[in-house]
């Protein structure tokens, strides 16, 4: 029976990145999970902090050719409501960056991670599904569908919203749903995007264009479920014209590529993010609408925390309370990000006039107040940096007054 330091169940982006990061520190890792049957047509916008981590993992050189930088983000209030916000423009140069981050297609990104896994001698890639988990005093026993059994000091659940690891560890979840479906697709366009992402806020949710290499972009179009069904039934030429119209022709003529995919929107957060010998990362721990490029960036911070917590391999058994310590370390970040995304999404859906007023005033402040906009951008790129910057600014002012 094979024994590992860590078994990671779930071989998507979050699980694969965790396996690579832990293996680089010398831990013996089993990455368990079948390969996807259907290629993921979505893209992921990774912010500057996440890109720096990919560089630290020696992954960036392989990923970079797939990506397009995000040098600016434009938010346009496309609602027909009485109280509408002015356009807001965020530019990376305002916070001293060449780009906020980079947009990466998920399917080829996962392919690059799989190649890297194969090159690391301390990763065993097991494509069978995990069927049983037994938590003992000294180790975790994992049964696989092919009849094998493996053991490990720790288990990482990276197996998505319906996480079997989370269920086996008896960790409850808090879930909620939205009357929304996200339609995702890629398209080519006549005019260059100039590395700018444009987000149209509508009554049903955001309609967000994100640059891809060349004159191509990805789209996340959040709609009411019935409207999304009608969108998916549109012939390609009519769908292309509809998207061009929705984008106010800012990119000229549009041509949809491939077949659109759709995903019902809901939210979920685990009551605990770790327990005993179990840690939850990615959508096994938290899930929310695709707003503000928070999903995989938050998952990567799960991975960073896990790697920092465990440190380099020493040959000793990994502590049985690692999950409890991981839970304490991740709680504030996950809860605050989940709440902020939920609030932003609900503010778009609300027909309550005071809520619309608060949202419009908030965006007005961001549009006109440079320092506030800078703080928000820094917080989005490097969580916690806005608060640190504010503290340092206050200390400087107090210091000058007392001098």
Host domain of residue 114: 3-61+104-175+267-346
Nearest to 105 by CA among 57, 49, 66: 66
pLDDT score of 27 more than 50: yes
Least confident segment among 103-112, 252-261, 292-301, 339-348: 339-348
- Note the pLDDT tens digit of each residue in 308-317: 999 999 999 9
- How do beta strands 196-202 and 72-77 pair? parallel
Total domain count, the chain: 1
Please check whether residue 195 lies inside any domain of the structure: no
pLDDT of residue 272: 97
pLDDT, mean of residues 172-196: 94
Rounded to an integer, the average pLDDT of 21-43 is 90
Q: Is residue 396 part of a domain?
A: no
Q: Looking at the DSSP assignment, which residues form a beta bridge with residue 219?
A: 185, 209
> What is the pLDDT, as a whole number, of residue 383?
60
> Residue 292: its pLDDT value, please?
55
Is 230 inside any structural domain? no
User: By three-state DSSP, how is residue 342 classified?
Assistant: helix
Total-model pTM: 0.84
Residue 366: inside a domain = no
Q: Indicate the pLDDT class of residue 97, thresholds 50, 70 and 90.
A: confident
38-42, 63-67, 148-152, range with the lowest pLDDT: 38-42
Q: Residues with Cβ < 8 Å from 332, sequence gap 6 or more?
A: none
Going by their DSSP bridges, the two strands 286-287 and 254-270 should be labelled as: antiparallel
Main-chain dihedrals φ then ψ at residue 395, nearest 5 degrees: -60, -45
End-to-end CA distance of the chain: 68
pLDDT score of 138 more than 70: yes
Q: Which helix (H) or strand (E) holds 295?
A: helix 295-310
CATH code, domain with 271: 3.50.50.60
Per-residue pLDDT, averaged over 78-94, amounts to: 75
Residue 231 belongs to a domain? no
Average pLDDT of the residues in 208-231: 94
Give the model confidence (pLDDT) of 109-129 as tens digits.
999 999 999 999 999 999 999
Return the biggest CA–CA distance within the chain. Answer: 73
Which pLDDT value is given to residue 377?
A: 52
* Assigned domain for 88 exists: no
Looking at residues 52-69, what average pLDDT do you find? 95
Whether residue 231 contacts residue 223, with contact meaning beta carbons closer than 8 Å, is answered with: yes
Please tell me the distance from the alpha carbon of residue 356 to that of residue 358, in angstroms, as a whole number: 6
- Work out the mean pLDDT of the chain and round it to a whole number: 86
Q: Is the pLDDT of residue 362 over 60?
A: no
Report yes or no on 136 lying in a domain: yes
**Cα–Cα distance measured from residue 260 to residue 351, given in angstroms and rounded to the nearest whole number:** 29
Residue 402, pLDDT score: 53
Averaged pLDDT for residues 225-241: 96
In a domain, residue 314? The reply is yes
- pLDDT bracket for residue 91 (50, 70, 90): confident
């Amino acid at each position: 029976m094979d024994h590992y330091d860590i078994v990671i169940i779930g071989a998507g982006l979050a699980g694969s990145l965790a396996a690579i990061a832990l293996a680089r520190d010398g831990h013996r890792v089993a990455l368990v999970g079948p390969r996807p049957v259907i290629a993921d047509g979505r893209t992921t916008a990774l912010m500057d902090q996440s890109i720096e981590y990919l560089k630290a993992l020696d992954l960036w050189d392989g990923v970079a050719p797939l990506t397009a930088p995000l040098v600016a983000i434009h938010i346009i209030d496309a609602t027909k409501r009485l109280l509408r916000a002015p356009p807001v423009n965020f530019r990376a140069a305002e916070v001293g960056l060449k780009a906020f981050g980079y947009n990466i297609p998920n399917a080829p990104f996962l392919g690059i991670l799989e190649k890297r896994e194969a090159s690391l001698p301390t990763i065993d890639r097991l494509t069978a599904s995990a069927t049983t988990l037994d938590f003992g005093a000294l180790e975790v026993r994992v049964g696989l569908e092919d009849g094998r059994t493996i053991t490990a000091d720790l288990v990482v659940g990276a197996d998505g919203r319906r996480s079997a690891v989370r269920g086996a560890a008896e960790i409850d979840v808090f879930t909620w749903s939205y009357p929304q479906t996200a339609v995702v697709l890629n398209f080519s366009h006549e005019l260059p995007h100039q590395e700018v992402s444009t987000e149209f806020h509508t009554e049903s949710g955001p309609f967000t264009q994100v640059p891809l290499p060349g004159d191509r972009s990805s789209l996340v179009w959040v709609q009411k479920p019935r409207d999304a069904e009608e969108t998916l039934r549109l012939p390609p030429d009519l769908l292309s014209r509809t998207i061009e119209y929705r984008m106010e022709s800012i990119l000229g003529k549009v041509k949809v590529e491939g077949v659109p995919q759709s995903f019902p929107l809901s939210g979920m957060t685990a009551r605990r993010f770790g327990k005993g010998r179990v840690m939850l990362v990615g959508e096994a721990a938290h899930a929310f609408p695709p707003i503000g490029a928070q999903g995989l960036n938050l998952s990567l911070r799960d991975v960073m925390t896990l790697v920092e917590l465990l440190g380099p391999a020493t040959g000793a058994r990994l502590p049985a309370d690692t999950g409890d310590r991981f839970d304490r370390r991740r709680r504030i970040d996950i809860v605050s990000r989940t709440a902020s995304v939920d609030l932003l999404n609900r503010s778009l859906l609300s027909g309550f006039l005071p809520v619309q007023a608060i949202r419009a005033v908030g965006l007005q402040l961001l549009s006109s107040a440079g320092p506030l906009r800078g703080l928000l951008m820094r917080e989005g790129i490097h969580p916690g940096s806005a608060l640190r910057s504010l503290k340092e600014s206050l200390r400087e002012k107090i210091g000058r007054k007392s001098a």
